[in-house]
Amino acid sequence: MNKKEYKEKYDSKIKKRNKIVKKAIDLKWIIQVSLMAFVISLVFSGGSGIVLESVNVLFGILIVIFFILVGVIFDMIGIAVASADQKPFHSMATKRVKGSKMAIKLIKNAEKVSAFCNDVIGDICNIISGSAGAVIAAGIASKYNIDAVIVALLLTAIIAALTIGGKAMGKSYAINKSEVIIYKVAKICNTFWR
């Protein structure tokens, strides 16, 4: 390899590396996702806080389980998008299968979709399920005259175990069945975004 070929190869590597760095730092997306997280968190927290103040303990537990499930489902979607391959969806798109083009868009924007699903929705659901658990713990402690610290510790441990166990199970499923999950999500997205 002569000096000119070596320089061209070296320059192309530098350009690729710079392109990756530029793509990795998207300030506009960071601001958008932060604002989305703020608004969604405000709505979810406010809504669950208002609902939890006026409901019984059983319904409060159902709300916590709902938020845990939403967090697990969105975590699965985020992992599936990050680990899915575009090839089967390109094949489906040539056959005009509904949802295949949306699936390709989701996979092409994997870092944004994954950040939204895992970091925005997933983390907000985790936080809200924890704070809702604290409200429920206070309700249980006052209703049954039990030490509030013990009830809060037990409820927090149960919520953490369900969240971590659910996400661990969901992640292994998402990695093994990423194309199935992406296709189902793409079909749902296709219904709303035409």
Average pLDDT, the chain: 85
pLDDT at 166: 94
Please, which pLDDT band fits residue 105 given cuts at 50, 70 and 90?
Answer: very high
Angle between helices 87-94 and 100-108 (to 10 degrees): 150
Separation between Cα atoms, residue 174 and residue 172, nearest integer Å: 5
Evaluate whether 31 touches 114 at the Cβ level (below 8 Å).
Answer: no
Separation between Cα atoms, residue 76 and residue 118, nearest integer Å: 8
Separation between Cα atoms, residue 19 and residue 153, nearest integer Å: 48
Residues of the domain holding 93? 3-192
Per DSSP, the residues of 86-151 read: SHHHHHHHHTT-TTHHHHHHHHHTHHHHHIIIIIIIIHHHHHHHHHHHHHHHHHHHHHHT--HHHH
pLDDT at 173: 93
Separation between Cα atoms, residue 9 and residue 101, nearest integer Å: 35
Evaluate whether 125 touches 78 at the Cβ level (below 8 Å).
Answer: no
Evaluate whether 74 touches 117 at the Cβ level (below 8 Å).
Answer: yes
One-letter amino acid of 163: T
pLDDT at 26: 75
One-letter amino acid of 78: G
What is the total count of domains within the chain?
A: 1
* Overall average pLDDT of the 94-112 stretch: 90
Using the predicted structure, report yes or no on whether residue 98 has a pLDDT greater than 60: yes
For residue 56, give both structure tokens: 């019984």
* Per-range mean pLDDT, top range of 54-63, 124-133, 158-167: 158-167
Using the predicted structure, report yes or no on whether residue 95 has a pLDDT greater than 80: yes
* Overall average pLDDT of the 148-176 stretch: 93
Using the predicted structure, report yes or no on whether residue 86 has a pLDDT greater than 80: yes
pLDDT at 167: 93
* Overall average pLDDT of the 99-111 stretch: 91
pTM: 0.77
Using the predicted structure, report yes or no on whether residue 170 has a pLDDT greater than 70: yes
Please state, for a pLDDT cut of 70, what percent of the chain lies above it: 87
Closest to 82 measured CA to CA, from 185, 188, 187: 185
Please, which pLDDT band fits residue 185 given cuts at 50, 70 and 90?
Answer: very high
Separation between Cα atoms, residue 189 and residue 187, nearest integer Å: 5
Using the predicted structure, report yes or no on whether residue 176 has a pLDDT greater than 90: yes
pLDDT, tens only, 16-45: 555 554 555 678 888 888 898 888 888 887
Separation between Cα atoms, residue 183 and residue 194, nearest integer Å: 16
